[in-house]
Structure 1
């Protein structure tokens, strides 16, 4: 009884304002909880979206990240591949390695298509004297983003191999994949020669001496690599003929390549690439089969006349659109020197 009287006394001593304050807090909590978790109103979602949008815009302005554009599934998105950085002019005159494209391919960043420099950034900016310099492509290799060695069958196709040292050797040494098969196509007999093995991994060093730490011999091509190379002396084309091979059919039917295999293709076939690539753009299977494509697209432009490119009929703008079309269809495609 005494406890009850004490509680009544305490209640009489509490100010009515205190009750009003407590009630206001409870009502405010209920209203806020309903607005955040139970209301169908989109105002809160809009606030979150606006904040994310503002953050993304700020990041783009600072050059920190590149946001995917809704049109990246279209050719137009990949045509407009150069990001609009505030220092675009300085970037174009200074950087040996180009900026990443605005649109990703296969979910990964890829280099922007540098049309103004004929897709040959280092050479155009006079950093190298070789028009076939490959430095610009190194940071963007698909094999550095995805472990292609996990697949049992790993195939490299060199279409227009020329001599061994021009591209087969480069891919054997530089590309981060241990190819189980190398198929090299060169129509000129005697031009491509599989080298004699001259490399022993166990003895590829000289005894140490007091004047140097270790002398490493120049590595040659090991026998396990030369054993995997197969040479074809025929024209690569979009049709089968007496001296031509339909490369699309050959890859699907003869080699039986599928999306389960690792497939890297380099193509430099002096203009014959146009009908093949146009077919591939319209063939959804090829984008799944080929993990990465390196292609020299030949076109007619005055800046390339010194390299006998006046003989080609397609324009540089058409070449740009073809490369953009390949990327829009899912090909991780690079212009090849």
Structure 2
């Protein structure tokens, strides 16, 4: 009786223990399933995210590759054509364009423009006139704009001194090689060229041609007064005394070599050594020396220093051409107008800011 009474209370204890075990098992299984579920899905999410990030990371590389590819293609296309700098550093970029007679008739530059059109290539970084060999480089005269074969109007818009301030340099030198008379070219440069020259060196072998005026020009007295409201000049203004004091005249031949017997002076040596000219000076040269320009300019083409020393060059290149026979140019054979054009173009390609003179 007593034993029975002792076993009855034990039944509830076994039931509670089993319940705890079952709940624990269910909790463990549920936790495992949950962990496994998140583990599997988070792995897939990471893969998807990595894939997306990978594509985003690769996008700039793909874009860069596309740009590089396009640039390479463009470069290959451009390399098939000569660069403008390459053209203008060669003589061919400066040669005049040969046009048919029909093209010439249709071109307004050949009928109305006194000054001519700009050249294809710049020189010293500045615009310069096109080499107009069709008119023997004497544009105004050939177009019947003037009766003066020595007219220089077409040069005025292209002067380097009007584009670059050559007055800023302390020493400003003008050399007139083959000066002829004072009014032939010296006065033209004094009057028209936009630079106040501190020195003028003029060469003329004939002492009867180049002479200083006996009486200096007096601007105040150069007036006629026909009525109180008018002022009329008596004569074309000359050169004042203060300018004449800057001039030095040489009765010597300009040459490519010194020769005491013929009174010839090597002008290249004279400029470098006697005058001690350098790139820091303003140097303008006009050359009209009856075909002796050919060997001198050939030397200058081989001398890089001369292109740096000479800021602007004006040269009359002598050649034989039927249209110039009336001016005694038959004696300049075998030089041709095409050769003259090639020489001028060669000088420009070497950096000489050169114009045909006049």
TM range (shorter): 0.7 to 0.9
The match for 1:184 is 202
The match for 1:111 is 129
The match for 1:159 is 177
| Matching of residue 260 in structure 1 with residue 285 in structure 2 | no
The match for 2:307 is 287
Gaps of 5+ in 1: 1-26, 54-66
Q: Secondary structure at the match of 1:41?
A: helix
For residues 106 and 223 of structure 1, do their structure 2 counterparts lie closer, same or farther at Cα, with a shift above 3 Å needed? same
The match for 2:345 is 324
Give distance in 2, aligned partners of 1:44 and 1:87: 43
TM-score by length of 2: 0.73
Q: Is this contact kept in 1: 2:96–2:132, CA < 8 A?
A: no
Q: Is this contact kept in 2: 1:101–1:110, CA < 8 A?
A: yes
Give distance in 1, aligned partners of 2:148 and 2:300: 30
| Matching of residue 223 in structure 1 with residue 250 in structure 2 | no
Q: Secondary structure at the match of 1:94?
A: coil
Q: Secondary structure at the match of 2:313?
A: strand
Provide the aligned length of Structure 1 versus Structure 2.
293
The match for 2:321 is 301
Give distance in 1, aligned partners of 2:300 and 2:318: 17
For residues 326 and 141 of structure 1, do their structure 2 counterparts lie closer, same or farther at Cα, with a shift above 3 Å needed? same
TM-score by length of 1: 0.77
Gaps of 5+ in 2: 1-54
Give distance in 2, aligned partners of 1:185 and 1:298: 18
Give distance in 2, aligned partners of 1:35 and 1:175: 60
Deviation at 1:209, TM superposition (A): 7.2
- Alpha-carbon RMSD across the aligned residues, in angstroms, is 3.3
Give distance in 2, aligned partners of 1:44 and 1:68: 19
Q: Deviations over 1:77-117 (max 9, x none)?
A: 11145899999623212211100000100000000000111
The match for 1:79 is 95
Deviation at 1:333, TM superposition (A): 0.1
Structure 1 segment 73-152 matched on structure 2, within 5 A: 73-80=89-96, 89-152=107-170
Structure with larger Rg: 2
The match for 1:198 is 217
Deviation at 1:244, TM superposition (A): 0.3
